[in-house]
């Protein structure tokens, strides 16, 4: 099926005879695979008698060979999967047999994509980036302070570099355009949190998605294609993401988040806004002052500055902010 998709990804018409010849199968076998593409991957096809078949929307499939051959970017090994439950889960499964670190996992789609606080991350085939990087950490959990914020800075530099200049950060793990979510970050830990461990840096970036089933995504969202009006090359995006991640992770691990604090605050969309912070109980309302040296959010609550951190915290703008 993937070989057939590579023939069709240009969005042009291809006859059943030509597709069969290229794949070494019969026209009836091609037809069965085309039906499977529509049913299993929800990829709509356009059929015209005498011209053949084409994808309604062209695809730019991920290419592990191209990614692994790039020079001038970190030589992290790419593992590209047609479909996984989640790239974070697949990265953790691959970790015990990994020959070198860091390495990263990409997928054309996720069947059980995960966001923060147990939320589902909608992951249609061939449209977005579902990316997980595995990094070895020595020295315990303190090395991880502010890491998700450093990753957010790297991701922001990528999307702005491709033209989404209005994008900004939302504490702790989101990239937004206005009030619409463009990307999210999920870090997961494996190993001894007091000594040597591995962190899986999961990134979901809406690249070429233009529509989703009503009610599936529970918040306003956007994509790079929706903002720019052009189809983007996801392989080039991955190369830039690796380059920026390498730089920001190096700074964070060598110097700590303190070296990135001012830069992060300058790109935080909710600086000075009135927000409600919740963690399962009554929300705490306050004005966003910024973040501290560990990456915790600083709020002015009833005239007093307070800091909050934790993976289960949720930050929302107050309705009248």
219-234 per-position pLDDT tens digit: 899 999 999 999 999 9
- Residue 286 belongs to domain with CATH number: 2.30.30.100
Query: Are residues 71 and 205 both part of a single domain?
Result: yes
Percent of the chain with pLDDT over 90: 62
Query: Are residues 211 and 114 both part of a single domain?
Result: yes
Query: Are residues 148 and 120 both part of a single domain?
Result: yes
Query: Are residues 44 and 91 both part of a single domain?
Result: no
Is 88 one of the annotated binding-site residues? Answer: yes
Query: Are residues 113 and 198 both part of a single domain?
Result: yes
Phi/psi for 290 (5° steps) reads: 140, -150
Q: Decide which of 169 and 4 is more confident.
A: 169
pLDDT over 50 (residue 321): no
Query: Are residues 33 and 83 both part of a single domain?
Result: no
pLDDT tens for each residue of 101-110: 999 999 999 9
Q: Is the dihedral of CA 205, 211, 215, 219 positive or negative?
A: positive
Task: Check 116, 157, 170, 298 and give the catalytic one.
Answer: 116
Final residue of a structural domain among 20, 36, 55: 55
> Which residue range(s) make up the domain with 226?
64-265
* 116 counts as catalytic: yes
> So what's the pLDDT on residue 120?
66
Is 132 one of the annotated binding-site residues? Answer: no
DSSP letters of 129-179? EEEEEEEEE-S-GGGGTTHHHHHHHHHHHHHHHTT-TTEEEETTTEEEETT
Query: Are residues 39 and 80 both part of a single domain?
Result: no
Picking from 57, 55, 111, 56, the residue whose alpha carbon sits closest to that of residue 81 is 111
- Residue 9 belongs to domain with CATH number: 1.10.10.10
Is 114 one of the annotated binding-site residues? Answer: yes
pLDDT tens for each residue of 234-256: 999 999 999 999 999 999 999 99
Domain count of the fold of the chain:
3
Query: Are residues 152 and 222 both part of a single domain?
Result: yes
Mean pLDDT over 191-217 rounds to: 84
Task: Check 109, 181, 225, 234 and give the catalytic one.
Answer: 181
Query: Are residues 215 and 178 both part of a single domain?
Result: yes
Task: Check 12, 32, 93, 316 and give the catalytic one.
Answer: 316
Provide the CA 60 distance to its chain's centre, in angstroms: 16
> So what's the pLDDT on residue 318?
82
Q: Is the dihedral of CA 245, 79, 3, 124 positive or negative?
A: negative
Prediction pTM value:
0.90
> So what's the pLDDT on residue 213?
63
> So what's the pLDDT on residue 117?
53
Final residue of a structural domain among 11, 33, 55: 55
> So what's the pLDDT on residue 186?
94
Mean pLDDT of all residues in the chain? 90
Query: Are residues 91 and 227 both part of a single domain?
Result: yes
Is 110 one of the annotated binding-site residues? Answer: yes
pLDDT tens for each residue of 288-314: 999 999 999 999 999 999 999 876 788
> So what's the pLDDT on residue 57?
82
Q: Decide which of 215 and 155 is more confident.
A: 155
> So what's the pLDDT on residue 116?
56
Q: Which whole-number Å values give the CA distances from 200 to 118, 144, 312, in the listed order?
A: 16, 11, 18
Query: Are residues 30 and 101 both part of a single domain?
Result: no
* Residue 181 in tokens: 């979510």
Query: Are residues 119 and 200 both part of a single domain?
Result: yes
Confidence of residue 114 (pLDDT cuts 50, 70, 90): low
Is 32 one of the annotated binding-site residues? Answer: no
């Amino acid at each position: 099926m993937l070989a057939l998709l590579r023939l069709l990804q240009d969005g042009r018409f291809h006859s059943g005879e030509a597709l069969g010849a290229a794949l070494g199968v019969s026209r009836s076998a091609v037809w069965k695979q085309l039906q499977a593409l529509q049913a299993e991957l929800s990829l709509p096809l356009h059929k015209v008698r005498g011209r053949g078949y084409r994808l309604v929307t062209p695809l730019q499939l991920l290419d592990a060979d191209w990614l692994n051959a790039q020079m001038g970017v970190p030589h992290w090994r790419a593992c590209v999967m047609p479909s996984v439950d989640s790239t974070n889960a697949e990265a953790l499964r691959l970790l015990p047999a990994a020959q070198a670190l860091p390495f990263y996992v990409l997928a054309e789609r996720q069947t059980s994509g995960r966001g923060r606080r147990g939320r589902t991350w909608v992951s249609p085939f061939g449209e977005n980036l579902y990316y997980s990087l595995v990094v070895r950490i020595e020295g315990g959990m303190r090395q991880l302070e502010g890491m998700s914020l450093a990753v957010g800075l790297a991701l922001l530099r990528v999307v702005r570099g491709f033209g989404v200049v209005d994008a900004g950060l939302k504490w702790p793990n989101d990239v937004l355009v206005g009030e619409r979510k463009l990307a999210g970050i999920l870090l997961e830990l494996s190993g001894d949190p007091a000594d040597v461990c591995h962190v899986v840096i999961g990134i979901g970036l809406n690249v070429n998605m233009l529509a989703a089933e009503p009610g599936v995504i529970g918040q306003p969202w956007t994509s790079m294609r929706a903002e720019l009006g052009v189809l983007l090359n996801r392989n080039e995006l991955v190369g830039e993401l690796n380059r920026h991640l390498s730089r920001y992770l190096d700074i964070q691990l060598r110097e700590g988040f303190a070296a990135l604090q001012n830069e992060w605050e300058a790109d935080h969309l909710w600086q000075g806004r009135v927000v409600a912070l919740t963690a399962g109980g009554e929300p705490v309302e306050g004005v966003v002052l910024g973040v501290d040296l560990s990456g915790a959010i600083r709020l002015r609550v009833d005239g007093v500055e307070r800091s909050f951190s934790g993976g289960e915290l949720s930050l929302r703008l107050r309705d009248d902010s």
